[in-house]
């Protein structure tokens, strides 16, 4: 991994970067990880803020909508330690047996020509959860790096805040917005990245309600559609 050398040695033009969200993007929503996580977060709110259940659920939704991450509201308004929260929520998720390797995903990533594009993970999860999911999916080898939400630093920086996208660009060594490609299942994350002039793909799985106004230029229902949307990044058929 030498993110900087290619942009400074002048020999080859820098590769564009394709950023992949992880949760509900690299595995389908019907894995119900989101529901499991939401439940643990509701419990966390109820216990740590001593709230009745309905208030806990409501406040969780409110923070999620306002900040993109429930934890950001907890840090801002309740001085919660994000790493303790992470241990009780993300790291406590029973993911083994729920997130499994998928041949289609492995084939898709293997068919991408990494001499033409660099694959990079971009997640609002903390690094533990992100690495755990990628390991369970058995796709670590395809990505050259990861930009995650660092729960050990305040203020937290996460999607859809522009600073998170700029952090991802810096981490992955890409300088131009037009060299950034991105797929995410979150409307807000897609919209914000497109406003930065990234080329963004909103993943709206079948069975999930499509937004009235598309979040971004591209909208797909399956990651397989990346093959036809960005043929320039895939290996040519051999025969």
Q: Which stretch binds Mg ion (CB under 5 A): 1-9, 33-41, 48-56, 184-192?
A: 184-192
Segment near Mg ion (CB under 5 A); pick from 17-25, 102-110, 196-204, 205-213: 17-25
* 77/100 with CB nearer Mg ion: 100
For tokens 């439940």, the residue is 39
Cα(174)–Cα(62) distance, rounded to whole angstroms?
34
Q: Taking contact as CB under 5 A, which single stretch among the options 60-68, 74-82, 94-102, 181-189 is the one that binds Mg ion?
A: 181-189
Number of shown-chain residues binding Mg ion (CB under 5 A): 5
Q: Report residue 166 as tokens.
A: 């700029």
String marking each residue 137-176 x if it binds Mg ion according to CB under 5 A: ----------------------------------------
The one among 26, 167, 185, 226 contacting Mg ion by CB under 5 A: 185
Q: Is 23 in the site for Mg ion (CB under 5 A)?
A: yes
φ and ψ at 45, to 5 degrees? -60, -45
Residues that bind Mg ion (CB under 5 A): 21, 23-25, 185
């Amino acid at each position: 991994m030498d993110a900087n050398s290619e942009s400074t040695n002048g020999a080859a033009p820098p590769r564009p970067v394709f950023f992949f969200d992880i949760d509900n993007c690299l595995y389908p929503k019907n894995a119900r990880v989101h529901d499991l996580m939401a439940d643990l977060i509701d419990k966390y709110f109820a216990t740590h803020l001593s709230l009745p259940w309905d208030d806990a659920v409501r406040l969780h939704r409110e923070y999620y909508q306002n900040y993109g991450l429930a934890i950001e509201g907890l840090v801002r308004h309740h001085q919660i330690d994000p790493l303790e929260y992470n241990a009780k929520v993300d790291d406590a998720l029973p993911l083994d047996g729920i997130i499994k390797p998928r041949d289609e995903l492995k084939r898709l990533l293997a068919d991408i020509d990494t001499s033409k594009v660099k694959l990079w993970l971009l997640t609002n999860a903390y690094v533990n959860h992100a690495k755990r999911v990628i390991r369970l999916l058995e796709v670590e080898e395809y990505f050259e790096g990861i930009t995650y939400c660092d729960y050990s630093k305040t203020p937290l920086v996460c999607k859809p805040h522009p600073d998170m996208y700029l952090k991802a660009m810096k981490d992955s060594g890409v300088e131009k917005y037009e060299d950034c490609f991105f797929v995410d299942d979150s409307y807000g994350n897609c919209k914000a990245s497109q406003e930065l002039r990234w080329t963004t793909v909103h993943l709206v799985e079948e069975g999930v309600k499509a937004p009235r106004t598309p979040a971004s230029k591209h909208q797909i229902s399956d990651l397989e559609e990346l093959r036809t949307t960005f043929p320039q990044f895939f290996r040519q058929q051999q025969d």
